[in-house]
Structure 1
Amino acid sequence: MGKRDFLWLHLRELPYFRALLRAVEARFYQDLHLPRPVLDIGCGDGHFASVTFAEPLDVGLDPDPGVLPLARNYGGYRWVLRGYGNALPFGSASFASAVSNSVLEHIPDVDGVLQEVARVLRPGAPFIFCVPNHRFTRSLSVARFLDRLGWHGLAEAYRRFFNRISRHYHCDDVPRWDERLRAAGFALERYWHYFSPEALACLEWGHYFGLPAWVARKLTGRWILAPTTWNLSLTRRVVQPYYDQRAICDDGVYTFYVARRV
């Protein structure tokens, strides 16, 4: 795949805060090799795969029947089906690689999912995923402001609130994920932190300023009613600096993992 403007490709389809994060993540995959066949656990509506990968992935799986027609229409997968990560409908050693982009943090039974992913992967197959880490909630701008005022209880309440609306069950550090991976039959090869606290503030406030996009989605089925340059130029100017900044950073609030089936 040649160089693509991932920020624009996401901005024209998604609320700006989601577009920013997904655009940053899409760039990482350009330097990673995914042997076929590839399984995507938690494919959602399929937009991310259709934008990120030069060729359709082999299988996209998601438990939500409402998003599967969208995933088929986007054309990011050869085969889309409904299924749960802790009960994958495939035989053992069916896949040569697997990905799960910003999904595992939303799954209560994440250990069961990792065990199932290991089962359906061939020995030596890579498993690539990304999740928010232990710095996510403590870096939230509103919570940090409340802490500076000495309102620590209110700051903690806000962190719990934001995690709840983000549907996060797991915001863990590398040792915790390494422990989970080893227990499931993986070896962690490498990882990197990304998405600075400043970028997180952009994402955080987007949950509130993005209300018009949410209304549009409910009424029309689309997040962005006018995906044109003139309509999105101001939005792009706001988020472009966060997209252009160095993606990999020691204080990043998300972590990208490359593991391998033992």
Structure 2
Amino acid sequence: MKTLVIIPTYNEKDNIMSLAPAILASAPGIHVLIVDDNSPDGTGVLAEQLSSNNPGNVFVLHRPAKDGLCNAYSQGFAWALDKGYERIVTMDADWSHNPADIPRLLLQSEHADLVVGSRYLGGVRILDWPLSRLIISAVANRYIRFAINLKLSDCTSGFMCFTNQTLKAITASKLSAKGYGALIELKYRTQKSGKQITEIPIIFSERQTGTPKMSSNIILEAAWIVWLFRFSHPLKPTTYFKKFLQIAPLSLSIWRTQEALAFSKHNLSPPLLDLGCGFGEFSSVFFNEDIDVGVDCNPNDIARAKNLKLYKKLILADARNLPLANESINTAFSISTLEHISNVDNVFAEMHRVLKPNGRLIFTVPTSTFNQFLFFPFFKTSYLTLFHHIFKHKPLVSKNTWIERAQKQGFKLISVSGTISKKQVIVYQLLLPFSIPSMITKKITGRRIVLFPTIRAQILNKLFNRIINQQNMTDANILVEVIKPT
């Protein structure tokens, strides 16, 4: 069973040199990934030594600065899934978790989707904690169980073993927590997804060397964020649809909803770049929090996007020549933008330049398969005229061509999936003529005309929400995720 142990580190030089070898010795064929946040004490340098001494067994992800436990795990999980690991173990870097317990986690993972090493199962098993800290921990676990009904004895344990299928399911949506609240959120998402969780008893030892990472800010985040978990739910397909109907014509609302559903399966690590952000049409529906950077070449759209207050920074620029620093972005995304750009290879080159190592680019584009579903000659001719000449679509190319364009600039494919069904393409064709007035006003004035948006959304949502689904997807429109290798 191909297993990876992920260890986030920050100033752990006194522990990492002994911990990694102990993990390697705990089970045959096990690998270690150290995710270091540019530790001032030189942990990253020691991690590289470990990697050199254990080639093919110890790997290192270097991050430019301290960026939170959540993002460290998100990047580690993405790396593990990309490499095809079947089991992914998380543990602390300070010897508080015993590597000798890893085989027990792996054994139980044959019967569960997530195995948690519990300090409290069948009694308290914690060494060298003062009574006050034991009381605080016990109260915190009761508080979490009450707030989100998490059915575990140890809600804050960082010693866990996930199956790869579980990670694919729960990291599809963005994690809300930034720090140690991620440990709670990972368990909560697993439980909400219907996956099987089990616990095994472990002995937890307080760190003997190094500086504890717990702080009042971490405690406060965990205290309030559980209520965010409880009352924040992923948008249902019909909710996406209803929101898009308030700002876009019906045909485009169907298209954008399908893209949003596909997009929601992907975990996004900030800093985020919205390439071709327009006036924020897609992002205003999909995101609840700020996006770091939005880029578009249309000054009217940039001006409108500022009113949303969704972007921390908006840039009027050509995607082929971005005024962004090298390796400054973790995740870039582009929604139905690249098909409008000539010399698109230059865009992929720019994305490769601005993305950090292990940074990801996620984009949606229509493909030449779309033309195969244009069932009347009239629609085919009209589509080519309208979109190729008036709305500046470039000739549609195949799925493989888009993938090859990204790979040519140094990206590695993670996944590709269709976002729209044949039935939805046919409905899109039939509705397209009714959307032309809105599209023309957008082209001329920079704004779409949507009369009585709320009433319109209520009526159209009831009439058409049955066609919104994720079944029988085709390659007429695709979502591609690629990664910049280290």
Q: Is the 8 A contact 1:44 1:68 kept in 2?
A: yes
Percent identity at matched positions? Answer: 26
Distance (Å, rounded) in 1 between the aligned partners of 2:337 and 2:437: 25
SS at match of 1:39: strand
Q: Which of residues 226, 234, 256 is equivalent to 1:3?
A: 234
Residues 1:224 and 2:450 are matched in the alignment: yes
Offset, 1:17? 1.0
Offset, 1:171? 2.1
Residues 1:194 and 2:425 are matched in the alignment: no
Q: Aligned in 2, Cα 1:72/1:18: closer, same or farther, shift over 3 Å? A: same
Q: Aligned in 2, Cα 1:222/1:158: closer, same or farther, shift over 3 Å? A: closer
Distance (Å, rounded) in 2 between the aligned partners of 1:259 and 1:74: 29
Distance (Å, rounded) in 2 between the aligned partners of 1:233 and 1:101: 25
SS at match of 2:415: strand
Q: What's 1:209 paired with?
A: 434
Q: What's 1:181 paired with?
A: 406
Q: Which of residues 329, 353, 357 is equivalent to 1:119?
A: 353
Distance (Å, rounded) in 2 between the aligned partners of 1:106 and 1:169: 6
Offset, 1:181? 1.1
Q: Is the 8 A contact 2:330 2:359 kept in 1?
A: yes
Bigger Rg over Cα: 2
Offset, 1:140? 1.4
Q: What's 1:61 paired with?
A: 295
Amino acid paired to 1:2: H
Q: What's 1:16 paired with?
A: 250
> What CA deviation, in whole Å up to 9, does each residue of 1:109-159 have, x standing for no partner?
10011001100111110110010012111211323xx7xxxxxxxx87456
Distance (Å, rounded) in 2 between the aligned partners of 1:59 and 1:220: 21
Q: Is the 8 A contact 2:241 2:254 kept in 1?
A: yes
TM-score (norm 1): 0.86
Q: Aligned in 2, Cα 1:193/1:221: closer, same or farther, shift over 3 Å? A: closer
Distance (Å, rounded) in 2 between the aligned partners of 1:105 and 1:6: 23
Q: What's 1:160 paired with?
A: 384
Matches within 5 A, 1:29-68: 29-68=263-302
Q: Is the 8 A contact 1:94 1:121 kept in 2?
A: yes
Q: Which of residues 249, 253, 259 is equivalent to 2:476?
A: 253
If asked which structure has higher relative contact order (CA below 8 Å, sep 6+), I would say 1
Aligned length: 249
Q: Which of residues 385, 396, 399 is equivalent to 1:171?
A: 396
Q: What's 1:140 paired with?
A: 374
131-140 vs 109-118, which moves further = 131-140
Q: Is the 8 A contact 1:61 1:80 kept in 2?
A: yes
Q: What's 1:150 paired with?
A: none
Q: Which of residues 321, 335, 343 is equivalent to 1:101?
A: 335
Distance (Å, rounded) in 2 between the aligned partners of 1:248 and 1:188: 22
> What CA deviation, in whole Å up to 9, does each residue of 1:81-131 have, x standing for no partner?
100110011111111110011100110110011001100111110110010
CA-based RMSD: 2.4
Q: Is the 8 A contact 1:194 1:247 kept in 2?
A: no
TM-score (norm 2): 0.48
Q: Is the 8 A contact 2:242 2:458 kept in 1?
A: no
Distance (Å, rounded) in 2 between the aligned partners of 1:257 and 1:228: 33
